[in-house]
A = this chain, B = another copy of it.
Amino acid sequence: MPEQHSLEAAIAWVDATAGFLDREDILLPTARGRVLTEPVHAPGPIPGNDRAALDGFAVQASASLGASSYNPIRLPSIGVAAGDALPPGTDAVVPLQLAEPDGQACIEVVEAVAAGDNVEQQGAIATIGATLVPARKRLAARHIGLLTLAGLSRVSVVRHPRVRILITKPTKAGAWEDSNGLMIRVAVERDGGVIGECVAVERDRTTIRAALVETEADIVLVIGGTGPGGDDHSAAALADAGELAIHGVALRPGETAGLGRTVNGVPVILLPGAPASCLWAYELFAGRVIRRLGRRAAELPYRSRQMITARKIVSSLGMTEICPLRCGSGDTVEPLPSFAETGLMAAVSADGFVIVPQGSEGYPQGARVTVYLYEER
CB of A180 closer than 8 Å to a CB of B: yes
The interface bits of chain A over 228-244 (1 if a CB of B lies within 8 angstroms of the residue's CB, else 0) are 11111000000000000
A193 CB to nearest B CB, Å? 12
User: Judging by beta carbons under 8 Å apart, are A55 and B229 in contact?
Assistant: yes
A154 beta carbon closer than 8 Å to chain B: no
Interface: A310 (CB within 8 A):
no
Pair B184/A141 contact, Cβ less than 8 Å: yes
What residues of chain B lie closer than 8 Å to A375, measured between beta carbons?
138
Residues of B near A170 (CB, < 8 A) are 81, 84
- Cα–Cα distance between A278 and B46 once the two chains are bound (Å): 17
> Quick check: A55 and B303 within 8 Å, CB to CB?
no
A348 at interface by CB-CB < 8 Å:
yes
- Interface residue stretch chosen among A142-150, A211-219, A354-362: A142-150
Nearest CB of chain B from residue A128's CB, rounded to whole Å: 14
Query: Chain A 53-77, CB within 8 Å of chain B: the 1/0 string?
Result: 0110000000000000000000000
A43 interface contact, C-beta 8 A: no
Q: Name the contact of A275 in the complex, choosing from B31, B81, B149 (C-beta under 8 A).
A: B149
Q: How large is the interface on A (under 10, 10 to 19, 20 to 34, 35 or more residues)?
A: 35 or more
Instruction: Report yes or no: B141 in contact with A96, Cβ–Cβ below 8 A.
Output: no
A220 CB to closest chain B CB (Å) equals: 18
Q: How many copies of this kind of chain does the complex include?
A: 2
Knowing A55-B232, A125-B345 touch, does A141 contact B32 (C-beta < 8 A)?
Answer: no
Distance (whole angstroms) from the CB of A218 to the closest CB of chain B: 20
Q: How far is the CB of A199 from chain B (nearest CB, A)?
A: 15
B182 adjacent to A148 (CB under 8 Å): yes
Which B residues are CB-close (under 8 A) to A149? Answer: 179, 275, 343-344
A155 to B: closest C-beta gap in Å? 12
A32→B81 contact, CB < 8 A: no
| CB pair B183 A145 closer than 8 Å | yes
A88 in contact (CB, < 8 A): no
Does any Cβ of B come within 8 Å of A112's Cβ?
no
Scan A14-50; emit 1 where CB is below 8 A from any B CB, else 0: 0000000000000011011000000000000010000
Q: How far is the CB of A343 from chain B (nearest CB, A)?
A: 5
CB–CB A229/B82 < 8 A: yes
A132 at the interface (CB under 8 A from B): yes
Complex Cα gap A347–B190 (Å) = 25
Report the separation of the CA atoms of residues A279 and B141 in the bound assembly, to the nearest whole angstrom: 8
A180 to B187, CA, bound (A): 32
B227 touches A81 (CB 8 A): yes
| CB-CB under 8 A for A345 and B146, given A32-B189, A141-B184, A189-B32 | yes
Asked if A3 is an interface residue, CB under 8 A from chain B, the answer is no
Q: Complex: how many Å from CA A149 to CA B279?
A: 13
Provide the residues of chain B in CB contact with A140, threshold 8 Å. 186, 190, 374
- Tell yes or no: A342 within 8 A of B by CB: yes
5 closest residue pairs by CB, A with B: A145-B183, A55-B229, A141-B187, A142-B347, A149-B179
- In addition to A96-B228, A145-B180, 9 A-B residue pairs with Cβ atoms within 8 Å of each other are A29-B185, A55-B227, A55-B228, A79-B230, A140-B186, A145-B179, A148-B183, A149-B343, A149-B344
A-B contact pairs, 7 of them (CB 8 A): A29-B185, A29-B186, A79-B229, A141-B183, A141-B184, A146-B345, A146-B347
